[in-house]
Amino acid sequence: MMLGGSDTTTVTLTWALCLLLNNQHTLRRAQEELDKHIGRERLVKESDIDKLVYIKAIIKETLRIQPSAPLLPPRESVEDCTVAGYHIPASTRLILNVWKLHRDPRVWDDPLEFRPERFLVKHKEVDVQGKHYELLPFGGGRRSCPGISFAVRVMELALASFLHEFEIEKFLDEAIDMTGSFGSTNMKATPLEVFLKPRLSPDLYV
């Protein structure tokens, strides 16, 4: 479980950086939020996270548009049922495609666009705990990921700390390649390479 959790967390943070680098206005807004609430005289603490609503929205939007596990683990129907006009016999093995679910235009405006703001307005009440079926990066119900709360907190703190401490720049003046690889985990097909420049006082990096 620990290995699986670290893998998916790394994947999500990698995609978050890719999306931010391809959407510089979003990156700037995130760093402005950090400077407003944290300043540049200290490091981010876990107790700061609840004030960083835009950072939290970035994590949600990354999990929506680039879920670390595009296909949830199989489920099995316990009895005959009908879903959206489809008859599903008992004991049918079911695999939920959250990649498709998270890009449903009937639910999400401009679903292919990276817009963290959607979680500050229209979808403000939607979370990733498995209670809102339009967003299920960790699954839902009794078989959802047992480490949801911990994983989200780690991702929020890691992303906030990284954006707070470093200016991030692309190697080339072109969009980051967003091609994913095939497999159970939605990893980026090619490595992400960036330039990092400290944003804070040198004393804070010791």
Distance CA 72, CA 84 (A): 20
Is 81 marked as a binding-site residue? Answer: no
Fill in the amino acid letter for 160.
A
Q: Is the dihedral of CA 19, 24, 10, 55 positive or negative?
A: negative
Strand partners, 196: 168
Inter-CA distances, 21 with 15, 37, 44, Å: 10, 22, 21
Among all chains, which residue has been given the structure tokens 């990092």? 196
Task: Compute, in degrees rounded to 10, the torsion defined by CA atoms 60, 112, 70, 144.
Answer: 30
Binding positions for heme are: 145
Binding positions are: 145
